[in-house]
Amino acid sequence: MVISRAANFLRYPGAGERGLMRLFRFVGMIGLIALVSAEAYAQCEAYWLDLGGKGREQHLTLPGGWPLAQFTRNFPYWNPARYDSNGRYVGPASKSELRWDQVLTPPSVEVLGCVGGHTVSAITYSAAYRVLLWDRGGTLHCPLAILDGDDSIVAGLAKPKVFVWQGTEILSQRIFYTGMGAHQDSLFFAVVKGALVHLRVDAEGFRRFLESNRITLSHRGGGFCEGTLVWENLAWQEDAPPDERTSKKVRAVYRVEGNRLVFDSAAIVSDKPSEDHCQQYPR
């Protein structure tokens, strides 16, 4: 297109200064679009999750990337608050900056596979502290997730797995907690506009399904089935006879829509073992 415009200008010199200025503006616009696209791709979105019991989370926008050696020699961390040298609070932390500390014991490095053409790896510093990385090309790696855990709360971090759901390659990370109640959680990541990002769970549609069908979920257990975007939990319908209120499960199916997991459909199923048994916990 640019070459064609330039050729027309040379073929018809009578276009004069006005035509030349239009050509320069056109070429400049193309350059600006390329610059904006490159700048957007030059950033890394990292999902920080506090597994220390406070339930805090944040999506960080970080510049560029780092060589793999930066993550094996130092571990990245982030805190929502900034403090001065005397430990006094001075304000919220920047969402575009990580802090680093030298590792005392070499972490384990494991290549997990490819998602959308990008190699993904896990750097595990302890049983409850892990960073997921993706290779953005060359020698640079972007942190995809920073899981900042506490051994007294996190029972373990499962090995991340890559699976395909409705044609989309997805990286999943399961987290197992100690104590009673909800014992596991799952995080999902996929390529959106050329970059690997965390997929936010949009459960509004599922909430409406539960309300319209007068379904109450059990406060214990529940979660995504391994290698799927299917979520299950024990449940009962308020209108059911008392002796049937613990004999069912609710199964919700999600789909990928941009950078979100969106509720697709749901059904009430038997809680008896079946061939499509939902695997939620370690075997």
Q: Do 113 and 207 belong to one domain? A: no
Report if residue 183 sits inside a domain. Answer: no
**3 versus 59: which is more confidently predicted?**
59
38, pLDDT greater than 70: no
Report if residue 126 sits inside a domain. Answer: yes
Report if residue 180 sits inside a domain. Answer: no
pLDDT at residue 180, as a whole number: 54
DSSP string, 149-167: E-TTTEEEEPPPEEEEETT
Give residue-wise pLDDT tens across range 7-27. Answer: 443 444 445 555 545 534 543
Give residue-wise pLDDT tens across range 195-222. Answer: 999 999 999 999 999 999 888 888 776 8
Q: Do 144 and 233 belong to one domain? A: no
Q: Do 32 and 101 belong to one domain? A: no
Query: Distance between the two ends of the chain, CA-based, in angstroms?
Result: 59
d(CA 145, CA 136): 15
**252 versus 184: which is more confidently predicted?**
252
Percent of the chain past pLDDT 90, that is, above it, reads: 57
**3-state secondary structure (DSSP) of residue 31:** helix
Mean pLDDT for the chain overall: 83
